[in-house]
Structure 1
Amino acid sequence: MSSLLRSNLVVASGTAMSRVSGLARWFVFAYVIGQTALADAYVLANETPNIVYDLLLGGVLSATLVPLFTTFARTDGDDEGDDHATNVIITVSVTLMVALTVVAVAAAPLVFRLYSLDVADEVDVELFRQVGTTLARIFLVQILFYGLTGVANAYLNSRRRFVAAAWSPVLPNLIIIVTLLSLPGAGSTEYGLADVIDDSRVRWTLGLGATAGIAAMAVVVVPAMFAAGLRFKPSWDWQHPAVRKLLVLSGWTIGFVVANQVAVVVIRNLANAEGEGILTAYVQAFTWFVLPHGLLAVSISTTFQPEMARAVKAHDQAAFVRHTSLGTRMIAVLTLPAAAGMLVLREPIIGLMRRGQFDSNDLQNTAEALSGLALGLVGFSVYLFVLRGFYAHQDTRTPFVLNVGENLLNIVLAFAFVGRWGVLGLGLAYAIAYLVSSVWALNVLSYKVPAFRVRDVVGGMWKMGLAAVLMAEAMWFVTHRVDSDVGWAGFAQVVIGGTVGLVVYGAALFVLRADEVAWLRRRFARSG
């Protein structure tokens, strides 16, 4: 089996377990808490460290550390590598993370206030912000653990070590599930905002459950760095050229962060203003939306990025174009059927969550959000992958410019759509923004790397599109007469409709002789 295919399978399997357990976590959360003001406060507070990590630390790590660690790695012609530069980068990064965590915890009231500027009329605003700030103080400690995990994952990915990074996210999901179910009367007792203030058991169960889970993830991946060959000695050499390169590359990434944060603040407040629980519905739909991205696209992006960075380091433009083109096409061919499935089967999919405090109104709101988001899955996944092509060249300025455009479009469309379509409009705005930006990013990359021709990449995608349309029609045909979208009826729709759809999609690609099918057949034939 080829090393790249083996790496993809390792990442895909670990990501599958983490995403499935993540869905189970949301099932349990919906069962115990539902879509209430408390759910919105919890989501906003717990999303804060996630946002800081994903948009700041995560962006910096993807944009800079994987390419830098790849540059410092030992190669066949360099037995020593540059261990000192690696130690300097790790030391500086961890130091900055500690400082950021301290500042974030101290600024918790301001941080939560920023994400709750506009709260639904039926919610007690002061109590909502008091609860959110209380939880945020606990959750923001996660930034340090997220950062340690991110540095470790970047190092491991640069060394082609994917197991720990892929499988460790399962731990926080399991820990959160256990702690939520430990609440007295879980699923039958309706918890509200006041319970967080008045009941220390509720407060610490909600706060420490999530934070302990993220800490456990760091406990797994940090030792894996040393097992991968890291010889770490703390070094605060702030004048080292690697630090200067890190700071230069990160400068544009900070701009990338600011653009994303503006969009996040706007969208979260628009969702809050729509009514109690709408924000939670949007976030839960987004969890389903990123499930196929995590299962199908992340594994390709994670394993292809080091190869793209190595090709740039070796000045092998042909190899860079080959990996980038193939990765883009494979992400498209895998995410298109997932998008079609989520769009057609949105109600039975969300119906799987119908338990406990999660009622029919919650189901409808979440399904509407998912239908809008689903239209942008391919664009979202392709866009994020193409950005890695710029990062492989240690170019963070271009992703910043692209991201400003994507976020501006998302914000404008969100304002235009939310009044007419509510949470569905927020999903549509997100989808359209990423579809447009993915095409833009591909064209910009073709200017940077002339050998990368967009026509060669997207020329055969009409076959995928046609196959996805036939798949959607087949799924609708076999499921549209079912009366119920919950319970076993909903489950049967997802299983039977999804199976029929995938068979139709695969058969259509085979008949149309899609190049991606031939590539997969060759790869698996070699692995046999």
Structure 2
Amino acid sequence: MSKTAKNAVIIMVATLLSRVLGFLRETILANFYGTSMVADVFVLTFNIPGLIISIVGSVIYMMYIPMYYDTKERLGEEASLKFTNNILNILSVFSIIVSILGIIFSPEIIKIFAIGFTGAKFDLAVKFLRIMMFGVLFLSLNKIQSSFLQVKDSYLPASIVGVVYNLVIILAIFISVKYGSYYLAIGALVGLFVQVIILLPCMYKRGYKYSFYMNIKDESIIKMIKLSIPMMMGVAMSQLNVYVDKALASTLGDGRLAALNYASRLNDFVVAIFVTSLITVIYPKLSQFVNEKDITNFKKIMVKSSNCIILVVVPIVFGAILLAEPIVRVLLERGSFSHESTIMTSNALRFYAIGIIGYAVKEILSRGFYSLGDTKTPMINSSISVIINIILDLIFIKPFSYMGLAMATSISYMVTVVLMFFSLRKKVGSFNGKAVAKVLIKSTVASIAMSVVVLLTYDSLVSVLGLSFIGECTSLGGAILLGVVVYLIAVKLFKVEEVKVLEGSIKSFFSR
């Protein structure tokens, strides 16, 4: 676990840099466009190429890693490289076809994804989408590139490439203000293309050689397709979740969809740095242990990973709920992003934050099932989650408006993780779930103690320093810093073993 933890910390640092730029991007977008019509349109169309390809692209990404190890074990290194090229070529042809169809049927797609868009807003969304649709190809290629680098124990390039991506979009925002909003869409497309170009030499450096081999009847491809069908259904259900949320939000008037997006981006910051970073490293390890039939180490990594995630994420959830408004105000409130925008976004953030723990553990458990070659169980649980989310959306949207949509998402994550935990236990036997529960309880108690200190510190500092930008930044920073100290002392007093793992990884990173 030591090498795994070190790699996870390296990815966290690279991802942090990328996400800081991502936040800068969102801040600049908020400054110039606030929660306006253009912001709503860009938020919606920016995500559609990813939503379209994710059903196939995400599945191939998930199945590529275990199938790579399986092919290498059975047929050797050369065959695994051939398998990589086969997937890359098949996915490229598929993506080009999808892109062309997306361009032709852009009006129909917007009608599906944004039932509340009409008039000039609808026309602008169609034009944006037609520009962005070829992003489907670049997203697909990037998935395979990142997966190949992961099986070669190279995690940094795919993490750091997001920095360039965000810089391109930031440049596009400034250009769009002067020359027209269409440059927002062009910038998003160019940013995706640049990521693909940057990762190519990294792949070649680690043994990749391109060849035009495309055989859909290949044994490994057939096996992957069989395993992928349930997973595709599960991912499709998850994307239905996203569609329903955005479609319902588009009926609530200007700004609500953008506010949910800004809150979701803040949520994604935490998820990307701490959750995705760890999952990126452990997934190849889980697949390798399953391939070697080493279930003992498989279980150990599942428990350690879950505990590390809980240890880090729980205090962040408490902090996000308590400090949502000042966090949003410091990060986003300027220019066209008004005080009303801050209130809307911070309210959504509080409800999204509740679900981070469920989402984080759910992602780890899902990777466990995929490593075991079980794609049906996550699909069934995703379906249940979607049904719960849609029902709760319809119940909560009237009394709570856009906040109800965020609340429904969080509750559905919590229910899903409980179902998946018992399903995995049934499949592999007991894997020390009590240890996970103990860490969750200890972390929660420590976070409550931290919360008291954070609130008292923030209120005291604000009363002295005021609500100017510098004053609030100082108050926030002081409250968060003292809260972190109190939390670390508390979990150390509780003798949480994973604290040593995290400390060792951080020390090792800085010593390197």
**Normalized against structure 2, the TM-score is what?**
0.94
Report the counterpart of residue 56 of structure 1 in structure 2. 55
Deviates more, 1:216-225 or 1:168-177: 216-225
Give, in whole Å, the separation in 1 of the partners of 2:468 and 2:402.
Answer: 21
Instruction: Name the SS of the counterpart of 2:90 in structure 1.
Output: helix
Deviates more, 1:492-501 or 1:290-299: 492-501
Report the counterpart of residue 23 of structure 2 in structure 1. 23
Give, in whole Å, the separation in 2 of the partners of 1:497 and 1:412.
Answer: 38
Deviates more, 1:400-409 or 1:457-466: 457-466
Report the counterpart of residue 470 of structure 2 in structure 1. 488
Report the counterpart of residue 115 of structure 2 in structure 1. 117
Which residue among 375, 381, 402 is the counterpart of 2:381? 402
Kept in 2, the 8 Å contact 1:407–1:433? The answer is yes
**CA drift at 1:442:** 1.3
Question: After the TM superposition, which residues 474-485 of structure 1 pair with which residues of structure 2 at under 5 Å, given as runs?
Answer: 474-480=453-459, 482=462
Q: Is 1:393 aligned to 2:372, yes or no?
A: yes
Kept in 1, the 8 Å contact 2:110–2:122? The answer is yes
1:16-48 superposed Cα distances (whole Å, 9 cap, x missing partner): 111111111100000111101221111111110
Q: CA separation of 1:411/1:367 partners in 2, compared to 1, >3 Å: closer, same or farther?
A: same
**CA drift at 1:82:** 3.3
5+ residue gaps, structure 1: 120-124, 186-200
Give, in whole Å, the separation in 1 of the partners of 2:108 and 2:301.
Answer: 44
Question: After the TM superposition, which residues 29-68 of structure 1 pair with which residues of structure 2 at under 5 Å, given as runs?
Answer: 29-53=29-53, 55-68=54-67
1:230-265 superposed Cα distances (whole Å, 9 cap, x missing partner): 133121222111111121122112212321232222
Deviates more, 1:460-469 or 1:96-105: 96-105
Instruction: Name the SS of the counterpart of 1:161 in structure 2.
Output: coil
Deviates more, 1:24-33 or 1:514-523: 514-523
Kept in 1, the 8 Å contact 2:14–2:156? The answer is yes
Q: Which amino acid aligns with 2:127?
A: T
**CA drift at 1:380:** 1.0
**CA drift at 1:523:** 5.3
Report the counterpart of residue 128 of structure 2 in structure 1. 135
Give, in whole Å, the separation in 1 of the partners of 2:177 and 2:274.
Answer: 38
Q: Is 1:206 aligned to 2:184, yes or no?
A: yes
Kept in 2, the 8 Å contact 1:61–1:154? The answer is no
Which residue among 85, 93, 96 is the counterpart of 2:94? 96
Q: CA separation of 1:447/1:213 partners in 2, compared to 1, >3 Å: closer, same or farther?
A: same
Which residue among 487, 501, 512 is the counterpart of 2:494? 512
Give, in whole Å, the separation in 1 of the partners of 2:401 and 2:289.
Answer: 46
Q: Which amino acid aligns with 1:417?
A: F
Kept in 1, the 8 Å contact 2:315–2:444? The answer is no
**CA drift at 1:383:** 0.8
Report the counterpart of residue 381 of structure 1 in structure 2. 360
Report the counterpart of residue 108 of structure 1 in structure 2. 106
Kept in 2, the 8 Å contact 1:179–1:206? The answer is yes
Report the counterpart of residue 69 of structure 2 in structure 1. 70
Deviates more, 1:103-112 or 1:383-392: 103-112
Query: Aligned pairs, how many?
Result: 506
**CA drift at 1:441:** 1.2
Question: After the TM superposition, which residues 305-316 of structure 1 pair with which residues of structure 2 at under 5 Å, given as runs?
Answer: 305-316=283-294
**CA drift at 1:69:** 2.0
Q: CA separation of 1:421/1:103 partners in 2, compared to 1, >3 Å: closer, same or farther?
A: same
**CA drift at 1:472:** 1.6
**CA drift at 1:519:** 3.3
Question: After the TM superposition, which residues 516-527 of structure 1 pair with which residues of structure 2 at under 5 Å, given as runs?
Answer: 516-521=498-503
Q: Which amino acid aligns with 2:71?
A: F
Q: Is 1:158 aligned to 2:151, yes or no?
A: yes
**CA drift at 1:78:** 5.4
Report the counterpart of residue 419 of structure 1 in structure 2. 398
Deviates more, 1:8-17 or 1:99-108: 99-108
Kept in 2, the 8 Å contact 1:63–1:253? The answer is no
1:122-167 superposed Cα distances (whole Å, 9 cap, x missing partner): xxx1211111010001111111101110110111112211111111
Deviates more, 1:210-219 or 1:447-456: 447-456
Instruction: Name the SS of the counterpart of 1:459 in structure 2.
Output: helix
Give, in whole Å, the separation in 1 of the partners of 2:64 and 2:361.
Answer: 21
Give, in whole Å, the separation in 1 of the partners of 2:92 and 2:176.
Answer: 35
1:445-471 superposed Cα distances (whole Å, 9 cap, x missing partner): 111111424223323321011111111
Kept in 2, the 8 Å contact 1:284–1:366? The answer is yes
Q: What RMSD over aligned residues (CA atoms) do the two structures have, in Å?
A: 2.1
Give, in whole Å, the separation in 1 of the partners of 2:506 and 2:241.
Answer: 42
**CA drift at 1:485:** 5.5
**Normalized against structure 1, the TM-score is what?**
0.91
Give, in whole Å, the separation in 2 of the partners of 1:444 and 1:127.
Answer: 49
Kept in 2, the 8 Å contact 1:155–1:225? The answer is yes
Deviates more, 1:130-139 or 1:238-247: 238-247
Q: CA separation of 1:489/1:420 partners in 2, compared to 1, >3 Å: closer, same or farther?
A: farther
**CA drift at 1:66:** 1.8
**CA drift at 1:203:** 4.1
Give, in whole Å, the separation in 2 of the partners of 1:117 and 1:520.
Answer: 46
Report the counterpart of residue 160 of structure 2 in structure 1. 167
Q: Is 1:222 aligned to 2:220, yes or no?
A: no
Q: CA separation of 1:320/1:486 partners in 2, compared to 1, >3 Å: closer, same or farther?
A: farther
5+ residue gaps, structure 2: none
Q: CA separation of 1:427/1:489 partners in 2, compared to 1, >3 Å: closer, same or farther?
A: farther
Q: Is 1:367 aligned to 2:342, yes or no?
A: no
Identity, % of aligned positions: 23
Deviates more, 1:294-303 or 1:58-67: 58-67
Give, in whole Å, the separation in 2 of the partners of 1:175 and 1:423.
Answer: 31
Which residue among 311, 335, 341 is the counterpart of 1:356? 335
Give, in whole Å, the separation in 1 of the partners of 2:97 and 2:153.
Answer: 30
Kept in 1, the 8 Å contact 2:115–2:251? The answer is no
1:342-376 superposed Cα distances (whole Å, 9 cap, x missing partner): 11110111002111111011010000000111111
Kept in 2, the 8 Å contact 1:318–1:451? The answer is no
Kept in 1, the 8 Å contact 2:322–2:455? The answer is yes
**CA drift at 1:213:** 0.8
Give, in whole Å, the separation in 2 of the partners of 1:487 and 1:74.
Answer: 57
Kept in 1, the 8 Å contact 2:58–2:143? The answer is no
Q: Which amino acid aligns with 1:109?
A: P
Give, in whole Å, the separation in 2 of the partners of 1:450 and 1:70.
Answer: 24
Q: CA separation of 1:516/1:184 partners in 2, compared to 1, >3 Å: closer, same or farther?
A: closer
Kept in 2, the 8 Å contact 1:26–1:284? The answer is yes
Kept in 2, the 8 Å contact 1:348–1:494? The answer is yes
Question: After the TM superposition, which residues 174-185 of structure 1 pair with which residues of structure 2 at under 5 Å, given as runs?
Answer: 174-184=167-177
Q: CA separation of 1:31/1:342 partners in 2, compared to 1, >3 Å: closer, same or farther?
A: same
1:268-312 superposed Cα distances (whole Å, 9 cap, x missing partner): 122122221110000000000111111111111000000000000
Q: CA separation of 1:319/1:113 partners in 2, compared to 1, >3 Å: closer, same or farther?
A: same
Q: CA separation of 1:79/1:363 partners in 2, compared to 1, >3 Å: closer, same or farther?
A: closer
Kept in 2, the 8 Å contact 1:138–1:208? The answer is yes
